[in-house]
Amino acid sequence: MDEPEDSQESGAMVELYRPLNEVEGREIASLLRESGIEHHLVCLTDTPYPSIGMKPPEWGKIMVDPGQAPKAEALIEAYIDSEPEAIGDAWKKPAQAPQPKLIGSLGINQTAVLWVVLLASLAYNIAQWAQLQASTSLTDSQGRLVAEFEYDLGGTYPTEAHSYDTREQRVATSYDRNDDGRVEQWVELREGRPVFRGWDEDENGRYERTRFYAGGQAVFETRDPDEDGVVELAGVPDDHGELGPPLFRDDDDDHIYDTMECKRGSETVVFDVAACAIKP
């Protein structure tokens, strides 16, 4: 067992406290040392073996520099007040696992609250990261929005690409739903409303369908199923995308409509363009 720091009372020191045992004495001495307080720990036992012979009620005493006595006294009082019982008797009771602290009278576990806060913060950060990864934009030298790109997480190419004019009005949007870098649909806009839409479902650079708008409403659509650049069918699309009269057909791909369908009352009339006559 190590000897105390000093077993002789110094004339320059004043006695401040008498610890009940060596454990308490050494802990207080360590506290004073860490606080930069000059001190001596003096042992009062009459033998190097505390179990032999008579021993006074106190094991030793703490001597400190007079100029640092107020600070030392405050530290010792704080140390003693923080202990639920005398340190010398603490070993007699079995150690208990620390109990979680509760908040107020509601009995809310602080650890549980901390975990909830951490998980909520993590979820928020993941959401922010996902939003950052899913959208990016470009601006010009004056800070005006030029283009905006939206991605699927983990995707290579933008699923949607938007172009803007100098007033930051959207003028075009392209769609690439399968992330292969090829546009399947192209939309042109004016004052926020569509004026043209083209479909290239097989992604070969040629439109199978084109649709034109007026006032945001579809008014005319052309179809070129064989993608030879010649429109075989043209008409007015309904709300379901089906073409209705007037309907123009160019069956032989000679750039001349062969027939035109239109409504006459409830009857559908087919007009033969070449014969300039209504088909029976």
CA angle at 269 for the pair 267 and 273, rounded to the nearest 5°: 175
pLDDT value for 53: 45
pLDDT value for 57: 59
Phi-psi category of residue 107: left, alpha or beta, with phi > 0 → left and psi -120 to 50 → alpha? left
CATH topology of domain 14-90: Alpha-Beta Plaits (3.30.70)
C-alpha to C-alpha distance for 190 and 206, rounded to whole angstroms: 23
Predicted confidence band at 194 (pLDDT cuts at 50, 70, 90)? very high
pLDDT value for 8: 40
**What proportion of the chain, given as a percentage, has pLDDT over 70?**
74
| φ/ψ (deg, to 5) at 123 | -60, -40
The answer, yes or no, to whether residue 257 has pLDDT greater than 90, is: no
Tokens of 107: 């009995």
Exposure on the CB side of residue 214, measured as CA atoms within 13 A:
5
The answer, yes or no, to whether residue 99 has pLDDT greater than 70, is: no
C-alpha to C-alpha distance for 247 and 43, rounded to whole angstroms: 113
Q: What is the DSSP string of the chain?
A: -PPPS--S--TT-EEEE--SSHHHHHHHHHHHHHTT--EEEEE--SSSSTTSS---SSSEEEEE-GGGHHHHHHHHHHHHHT-SS-HHHHTTS---PPPPPEEGGGTEEHHHHHHHHHHHHHHHHHHHHHHHHHEEEEE-TTS-EEEEEE--TT-SS-SEEEEE-TT--EEEEEE-TTSSS--SEEEEEETTEEEEEEE-TT-SSS-SEEEEEETTEEEEEEE-TT-SSS--EEEEE-TTS-EEEEEEE-TT-SSS--EEEEEETTEEEEEETTTTEE--
pLDDT value for 2: 47
The answer, yes or no, to whether residue 112 has pLDDT greater than 60, is: yes
Lowest mean pLDDT among 30-34, 40-44, 158-162, 169-173: 40-44
pLDDT value for 5: 47
For 207-247, write each residue's pLDDT tens digit. 888 888 888 888 888 888 888 878 888 888 887 778 777 77
**What proportion of the chain, given as a percentage, has pLDDT over 90?**
6
pTM score, whole prediction: 0.46
The answer, yes or no, to whether residue 85 has pLDDT greater than 70, is: no
pLDDT value for 215: 86
pLDDT value for 19: 83
Please tell me which of 5-9, 98-102, 189-193, 232-236 the model is most confident about, judged by mean pLDDT: 189-193
The answer, yes or no, to whether residue 1 has pLDDT greater than 60, is: no
Closest by Cα among 254, 250, 253, 255 to 272:
250
Asked if 210 and 241 touch (Cβ cutoff 8 Å), the reply is no
Asked if 98 and 48 touch (Cβ cutoff 8 Å), the reply is no
CA-based torsion, 100, 101, 104, 110: positive or negative: negative
